[in-house]
């Protein structure tokens, strides 16, 4: 049977818009593969290399684009695009391949085809570098190549196997179907909570924030992989289909007085972690140099094809939490100036960017905002990386809230009061110095002193 | 209204046999279905402040609480200590006061509005007790990392208890899809009907169980439970805090911390009709009890000299004990790898507090209740239908647990020559189960090696298929376990008859299995029945020549374990008996 993928119809207009301009465009195919069906959710043109270095300039400089051809596309650039876009995808969604609009037949012209292979394989290589990003679709290793000829407007789709020696590339035809109606998605939400305190052992793990985040990621991955998932409070068989669960639920209508169905289409996911023993059966005695409190939530919203199975859904939710954690950590660490867990200050605060949701078609992808960034920042990445225009009002910013300092103060209460507080600078680094508090104290005291003098004056006047 | 009162037969027995100078004791019980069931007792040893009933409660399965006092004497007087104890009774508004006089007559009273009201009680038989009640056993491992100080340990364990009590944890019945949720979830139970009882669940888990139960009524049913922690927040909760993940690091002066896998292994006793939904709070209490017990052991260690800084801290290990005379579990936590011998003082206090005999170990590691027997049958003789007691008949049986060792076990073909070795292994297992030793049960080769080492046999004996006899068993027990044995020689099977009193005495005082060999095949004697009117003797024999599978019903029905008359012995052959002797120890 020929592999078939289903795509929203606006993707056709999207392709035609570029094809009709008779320009070469390369971009990514985003979608979800399940046993029951493969759905494409979006096509995202890879931004132009030069203009993206300077994102304030318009990237729609058609003059420049016209001069671009497939053969001078940088594989690394497209792969980088794929890397950034993956951060915006919820679990269960992947970069499924690439699309190209050009006048040559990329499948027939050997030079073009070898370039296509090279791009796809480069993406594969980059995406599989970080396992916690779940960039590389595990479902299959056949990537989609969608081509629209700028001259004939003919659409051809094939699949190409990645990660195999160049000579035995298998290429297969793929049927690409457009759905007139918007695809329905089953949304599943959860808030995964972290609240862990552990010692900093410099001798063992150093003082790198990056490394610390990596360790947190590794342990979170282990924990989440081992967790048991409930959908709407119930344990489901891996083979059950999401749609069926909903149907079953509707059956007992007798006491359907349950009014709190504000999110009628969304299912609640809860994860339970068994305690498994990975520690040695002994007491470890360690010299520690401080403590780490890692806390907060990762909000997770995944979108599944309603015919997807519970097993596929569980995998998607788990992927989503880890991918989101990995994305924030990478973004945070890329913006770090001082990769030091224990700087001069006694308390150090690392606040990675938080997740916001951005609408794409009938579902939501996500973006990350550093503390202090406005939702408008998300518009930029959506335009740059997804080639999509959305309005600020459409960005869902309240799935997570930035850490406020009052909470931080509360956390700090159990540590010594004379400590200096610091948060990373630049993107997310701010410094709070207890000196400020001290200054305020001095101010208050001086006001009282001042007032006292006034009283004294009054009093002495009265006496005299 | 005061509850109905039942007293476990174990408590009645213990009170009738108790011989103490103390005047007051504590009673422990549980409530079910409007009934107070007294299941245990302890003596208040006032000279020892550490061993109070409050501490002892941590050693008992959850659901068992202090329910009253027992006074040894004639009159119903209330001293100050008694009042203090009665004030601590939370399980019922009407604490129980029991009087046991010198004639061991017992009277029970409920304290109702500061007045004693005498009340009747029903005795719950041993059989009924195990039939109606079962245990749940919660096992989980909490990773624990904290400062190596007493306050560090206290804080972290308090946090763990809070977390467990917060409703964030969920309990999972092993091997089922049944999960119990806490208040943090809107559902209480999944995987079965919300009306289901724990008894129904247990029956559904093993459909063959009822058949087996007929055989063995005294089996303790234990339902294994594990714990999972909810790591997601409720979306619909109004208290939802959605602060994105962040990391705070606090620098300290270099300090020491300890990190360990803290194993929670805890029991609760519940009536079979308990609804699964009600089990949640029971399990939370069980987990918290275990954490308190673990905490006390960790802190005790941290307070000790040399360990004070935490460097010598040992992992606490939990053991459950079910001494025959007690009728309820006692859980102890001991530091890993500290030899039993150096903890005798604590055990002695526990024996005294529970009014247990002081001449044999009951709370050593080896005494711990365990259902892991390497697939071997434990105490198969208990499955033999009991005969009603007759006057003039004395029955004396092996005391405590042993495993049935026989031909062909461990994939080792010893058919035709290994019976005495197997009998020796059964005896050895008894010494292990009774806590006298932690030495592994010797293999055939180990036994041969031992005999070669002491010069009893030539090196060529090693790896041979030569038989051994009672004296060899005696040598080995002495060498490997420092256990002395008495050897009885009987020139004929008929002469055995005359040693009936010796055998009865042996089982009553030592209680260990006896190996019998000589001119014929070796067997293990597990008990003896002596009729003083007719002079008839019957022997409870465990036959090591069995080559079949570990199937209790075959072993019993085919008589591989069963009562034999005197004609079981060959009239003309000679016999040697090895009676392993125990030394008083705790």
- Average pLDDT score over residue span A297-303: 94
Inter-chain CB proximity A282 and B336 less than 8 Å: yes
Q: Could you tell me the pLDDT band of residue A428, with boundaries at 50, 70 and 90? A: very low
A41 compared with A57, residue with greater pLDDT: A41
| pLDDT per position as a tens digit, B20-41 | 777 888 999 999 988 999 999 9
The count of C-alpha atoms lying within 13 angstroms of the C-alpha of A21, restricted to the half-sphere facing its C-beta, is 16
Of residues A84, A345, A406, the one with CA closest to residue B243: A406
- Average pLDDT score over residue span A23-46: 92
**B255 has a chain A CB within 8 A of its CB:** yes
Chain A residues touching B236 at Cβ < 8 A:
260, 268
Inter-chain CB proximity B244 and A230 less than 8 Å: no
Q: Could you tell me the pLDDT band of residue A410, with boundaries at 50, 70 and 90? A: low
Superfamily of domain B4-124: Cytidine Deaminase, domain 2 (3.40.140.10)
Do residues B238 and B119 make contact, with C-beta atoms less than 8 angstroms apart? Answer: no
Of residues A137, A460, A352, the one with CA closest to residue B246: A352
User: What global pTM score does this model have?
Assistant: 0.80
Sign of CA dihedral B284, B287, B290, B292: negative
Residue ranges of alpha helices (H) inside A259-386 are: 310-335, 376-386
Chain B residues touching A287 at Cβ < 8 A:
254-257
How far from A23 is each of A19, A61, A62, A73, A452, CA to CA, in Å? Answer: 6, 12, 8, 13, 79
Domain spanning A3-179, CATH architecture: 3-Layer(aba) Sandwich (3.40)
Do residues B330 and B59 make contact, with C-beta atoms less than 8 angstroms apart? Answer: yes
The segment(s) of chain A belonging to CATH 3.40.140.10 are 3-179
How confident is the model at residue B35, as a pLDDT? 92
**B230 has a chain A CB within 8 A of its CB:** yes
- Average pLDDT score over residue span A258-262: 41
- Average pLDDT score over residue span B419-423: 93
Residue A403 has its nearest CB partner, among B187, B246, B256, at B246
How confident is the model at residue A315, as a pLDDT? 94
Chain A residues touching B172 at Cβ < 8 A:
228, 274
Residue A279 has its nearest CB partner, among B185, B226, B260, at B260
**Among all residues of B, which ones are annotated catalytic?**
419, 543, 545
What whole-number percentage of chain A has pLDDT above 70?
77
> Which of B144, B246, B264, B294 to mutate: most A Cβ within 10 Å?
B246
**B186 has a chain A CB within 8 A of its CB:** yes
How confident is the model at residue A430, as a pLDDT? 36
Q: What is the ipTM of this complex?
A: 0.76
Do residues B181 and B308 make contact, with C-beta atoms less than 8 angstroms apart? Answer: no
Chain B residues touching A283 at Cβ < 8 A:
258-260, 310, 313-315
Do residues A120 and A52 make contact, with C-beta atoms less than 8 angstroms apart? Answer: no
Do residues A76 and A122 make contact, with C-beta atoms less than 8 angstroms apart? Answer: yes
How far from B535 is each of B392, B504, B530, CA to CA, in Å? Answer: 10, 13, 7
Of residues A317, A325, A382, A242, the one with CA closest to residue A92: A317
How confident is the model at residue B187, as a pLDDT? 63
Do residues B329 and B135 make contact, with C-beta atoms less than 8 angstroms apart? Answer: yes
The residues spanned by each domain of chain B are 4-124, 130-232+255-361, 380-580
Q: Which one is the CATH code of B380-580: 3.40.718.10, 3.20.20.120, 3.90.70.130, 3.60.15.10? A: 3.90.70.130
Distance from CA of B333 to the nearest CA of A (A): 15
The end-to-end CA distance of chain B, in Å, is 44
Task: Report the chain B residue with the minimal C-alpha distance to residue A347.
Answer: B250
Interface contacts (A, B; CB < 8 Å)? 220
Of residues A364, A365, A361, A390, the one with CA closest to residue A377: A390
How confident is the model at residue A443, as a pLDDT? 55
Token pair recorded at residue B470: 């009672």
| pLDDT per position as a tens digit, B334-374 | 998 888 888 888 899 899 889 898 988 999 988 888 766 67
Do residues A88 and A358 make contact, with C-beta atoms less than 8 angstroms apart? Answer: yes
Residues 310-329 of B with CB under 8 A from A: 310-311, 313-315
| pLDDT per position as a tens digit, B261-281 | 899 999 999 999 999 989 999
Q: Which residues contact A226 (CB under 8 A, 6 or more apart)?
A: A273, A274, A276
CA distance B507 to B498: 16
Chain A residues touching B255 at Cβ < 8 A:
287-288
Query: Is residue B50 scored above 80 in pLDDT?
Result: no
How confident is the model at residue A257, as a pLDDT? 43
Q: Measured in whole angstroms, how far is the alpha carbon of residue B240 from the centre of its chain? A: 45
CA distance B524 to B427: 8
Token pair recorded at residue A334: 């890329």
How confident is the model at residue B372, as a pLDDT? 65
| pLDDT per position as a tens digit, B78-113 | 677 788 888 888 888 889 999 998 888 899 999 888
The end-to-end CA distance of chain A, in Å, is 108
Distance from CA of A311 to the nearest CA of B (A): 16
> Which of B152, B243, B247 to mutate: most A Cβ within 10 Å?
B247
How confident is the model at residue A278, as a pLDDT? 63
């Amino acid at each position: 049977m020929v592999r078939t993928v289903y795509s929203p119809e606006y993707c056709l207009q999207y392709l035609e818009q570029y094809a009709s301009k008779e320009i070469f465009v390369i971009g990514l195919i985003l979608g979800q593969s399940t046993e029951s069906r493969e759905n494409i959710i979006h096509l995202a043109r890879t931004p132009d290399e030069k203009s993206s270095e300077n994102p304030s300039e318009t990237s729609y400089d058609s003059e420049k684009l016209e001069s671009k051809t497939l053969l001078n596309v940088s594989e690394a650039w497209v792969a980088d695009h794929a890397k950034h876009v993956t951060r915006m995808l919820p679990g269960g969604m992947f970069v499924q391949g690439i699309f190209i609009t050009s006048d040559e037949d990329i499948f027939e012209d050997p030079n073009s085809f070898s370039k296509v292979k090279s791009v796809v394989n480069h993406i594969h290589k980059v995406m599989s570098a970080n396992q916690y990003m779940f960039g590389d679709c595990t479902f299959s290793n056949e990537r989609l190549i969608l081509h629209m000829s700028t001259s004939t407007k003919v659409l051809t789709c094939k699949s190409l196997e990645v990660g195999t020696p160049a000579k035995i590339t298998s290429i297969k035809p793929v049927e690409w179907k457009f759905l007139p109606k918007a695809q329905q998605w089953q949304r599943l939400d959860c808030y995964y909570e972290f609240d862990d305190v552990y010692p900093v052992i410099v001798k063992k793990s150093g003082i790198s924030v990056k490394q610390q985040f990596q360790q947190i990621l590794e342990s979170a991955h282990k924990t989440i992989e081992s967790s048991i998932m409930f959908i709407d409070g119930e344990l489901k068989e891996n083979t059950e289909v999401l749609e069926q669960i909903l149907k079953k639920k509707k059956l007992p209508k007798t006491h359907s007085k349950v009014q709190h169905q504000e999110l009628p289409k969304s299912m609640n996911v809860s994860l339970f972690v068994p305690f498994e023993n990975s520690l040695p059966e002994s007491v470890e005695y360690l010299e520690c140099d401080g403590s780490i409190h890692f806390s907060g939530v990762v909000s997770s919203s995944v979108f599944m094809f309603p015919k997807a199975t519970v097993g596929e859904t569980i995998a998607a939710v788990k992927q989503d939490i880890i991918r989101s954690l990995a994305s924030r950590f990478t973004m945070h660490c890329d913006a770090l100036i001082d990769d030091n867990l224990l700087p001069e200050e006694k308390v150090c605060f690392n606040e990675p960017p938080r997740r916001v949701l951005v609408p794409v078609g009938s579902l939501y992808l996500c973006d990350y905002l550093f503390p202090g960034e406005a939702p408008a920042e998300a518009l930029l990445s959506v335009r740059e990386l997804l080639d999509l225009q959305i309005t600020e009002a459409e960005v869902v910013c309240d799935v997570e809230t930035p850490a406020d300092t009052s909470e931080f103060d509360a956390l700090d209460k159990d540590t010594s009061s004379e400590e200096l507080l610091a948060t990373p600078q630049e993107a997310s680094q701010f410094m709070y110095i207890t000196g400020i508090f001290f200054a305020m104290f001095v101010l208050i005291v001086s006001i009282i002193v001042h007032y006292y003098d006034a009283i004294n004056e009054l009093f002495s006047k009265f006496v005299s | 209204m005061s509850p109905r009162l039942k007293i476990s037969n174990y408590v009645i027995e213990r009170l009738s046999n108790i011989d103490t100078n103390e005047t007051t004791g504590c009673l422990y019980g549980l409530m079910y279905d409007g009934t107070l069931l007294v299941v245990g007792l302890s003596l208040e040893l006032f000279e020892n402040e550490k061993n109070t009933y409050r501490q002892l409660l941590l050693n008992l399965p959850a659901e068992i609480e202090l329910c009253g006092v027992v006074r040894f004497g004639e009159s119903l007087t209330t001293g100050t200590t008694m009042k203090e104890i009665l004030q601590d009774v939370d399980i019922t508004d009407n604490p129980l006061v029991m009087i046991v006089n010198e004639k061991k007559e017992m009277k029970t009273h409920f304290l109702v509005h500061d007045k004693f009201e005498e009340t009747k009680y029903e005795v719950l038989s041993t059989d009924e007790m195990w039939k109606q009640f079962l245990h749940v056993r919660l096992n989980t491992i909490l990773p624990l990392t904290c400062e190596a100080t007493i306050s560090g340990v206290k804080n972290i364990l308090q946090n763990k208890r809070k977390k467990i009590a917060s409703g964030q944890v969920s309990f999972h019945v092993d091997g089922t899809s049944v999960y119990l949720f806490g208040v943090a979830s809107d559902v209480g139970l999944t995987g079965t009907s919300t009306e289901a009882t724990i008894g129904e669940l247990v029956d559904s888990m093993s459909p063959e169980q009822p058949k087996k139960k007929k055989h063995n009524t005294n089996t303790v049913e234990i339902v294994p439970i594990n714990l999972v922690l909810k790591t997601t927040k409720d979306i619909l909760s109004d208290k939802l805090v959605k602060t994105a993940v962040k990391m705070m690091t606090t620098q300290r002066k270099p300090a020491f911390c300890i990190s360990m896998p803290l194993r929670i292994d805890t029991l609760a006793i519940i009536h079979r009709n308990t609804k699964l939904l009600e089990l949640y709070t029971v399990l939370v209490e069980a987990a918290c009890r275990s954490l308190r017990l673990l905490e006390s052991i960790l802190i005790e260690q941290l307070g000790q000299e040399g360990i004070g800084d935490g460097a010598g801290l040992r992992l606490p290990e939990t053991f459950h004990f079910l001494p025959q005379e007690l009728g309820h579990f006692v859980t102890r936590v001991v530091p890993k790898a500290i030899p039993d011998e150096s903890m005798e003082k604590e055990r002695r206090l526990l024996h005294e507090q529970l009014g247990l005999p002081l001449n044999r170990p009951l709370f050593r590691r080896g005494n711990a209740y365990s259902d892991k027997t390497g697939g071997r049958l434990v105490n198969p003789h208990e499955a033999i239908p009991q005969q009603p007691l007759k006057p003039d008949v004395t029955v004396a049986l092996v005391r405590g647990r042993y495993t049935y060792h026989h031909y062909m076990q461990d994939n080792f073909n010893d058919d035709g020559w290994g019976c005495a070795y197997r009998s020796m292994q059964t005896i050895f297992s008894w010494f292990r189960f009774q806590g006298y030793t932690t030495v592994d049960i010797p293999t055939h080769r180990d036994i041969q090696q031992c005999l070669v080492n002491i010069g009893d046999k030539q090196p060529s004996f090693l790896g041979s298929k030569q038989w051994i006899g009672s004296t060899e068993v005696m040598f080995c027990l002495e060498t490997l376990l420092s256990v002395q044995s008495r050897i009885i020689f009987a020139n004929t099977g008929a002469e055995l008859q005359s040693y009936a009193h010796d055998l009865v005495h042996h089982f009553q005082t030592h209680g260990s299995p006896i190996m019998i060999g000589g001119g014929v095949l070796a067997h293990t004697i597990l008990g003896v029945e002596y009729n003083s009117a007719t002079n008839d003797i019957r022997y409870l024999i465990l036959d090591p020549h069995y080559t079949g599978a570990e199937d209790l019903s075959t072993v019993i029905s085919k008589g591989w374990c069963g009562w034999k008359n005197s004609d079981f012995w060959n009239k003309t052959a000679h016999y040697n008996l090895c009676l392993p002797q125990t030394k008083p120890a705790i």
